[in-house]
Amino acid sequence: MSKALFIVDVQNDFTELGALGVEGGDAVAQRITEYLVTHAEEYSIIVASRDWHDADGDNGGHFADEPDYVDTWPPHCVSGTDGAEYDPGLDTSRVTHHVKKGQGKPAYSLFEGASDDGVTVAQLLDENGVVDVDVTGIATDHCVRASALDAIEHGRHVRVLTDLIAGVAPESSDAALAELAHAGAELAESGTAPSG
């Protein structure tokens, strides 16, 4: 039985100074880096995702001049821009697989992404016999939620590491965590995570 760690969208546009900055985003990047120092060897694969939107067009209706912040958003994480890069506080040296999502279309779950050579996250989990998935990243109430729900749907045991996530708003983040728990996810702090 092997484990995977998901690091969802810890990017400049989703941390404090970004186009869709989330309060606590930089701190989450730093805490994930610290967690990796002591826990990286527990995981068969460590998958980091990035929103990677096209510079041209509205990315399938994802970008809007007057966004509703539910289905439409201001431009963010445009491929080739600083906003699309990982937050500098996140050390990606232990990441085994990088996936990009949202290329020309809306995408919230990292399962909607693929590596540069076209391998999907579902394929990575199957190829590595992954049973357990720990989820970290940004934002609790959007892409973390969608990624964790998809992992459950793919038959994995999911644990959301609650001190290694940051959300857009407290109410929607609390609702997302309640939804995930109801769907079968375990909510745990990284310090209480069992090793092995």
pLDDT tens string 120-148: 999 999 999 999 999 999 999 999 999 99
Planar angle of CA 70, 71, 74, nearest 5 degrees:
85
Confidence of residue 1 (pLDDT cuts 50, 70, 90): low
Chain-wide mean pLDDT for the chain?
Answer: 95
pLDDT band at 192 (very low <50, low <70, confident <90, very high): confident
Q: Give the global pTM.
A: 0.96
Residue holding tokens 């958003």?
73
Whether residue 107 contacts residue 51, with contact meaning beta carbons closer than 8 Å, is answered with yes
Q: Closest by alpha carbon to 164, among 4, 31, 12?
A: 31
Predicted confidence at residue 195, as pLDDT, reads 46
Distance CA 40, CA 13 (A): 25
The contacts of residue 42 (CB under 8 Å, 6+ apart) are: 3, 195, 196
Catalytic residues: 9, 101, 143
Packing angle of the helix pair 170-183, 145-153 (nearest 10 deg): 10
Between the CA of residue 90 and those of 6, 10, 158, what are the distances in Å?
13, 7, 22
Q: Which among 162, 157, 148, 60 is positioned nearest to 111, based on CA atoms?
A: 148
Is the Cβ–Cβ distance between 136 and 7 less than 8 Å? yes
Ordered by where they begin, the domains of the chain are 2-192 (3.40.50.850)
In this predicted structure, what is the pLDDT of residue 196? 43
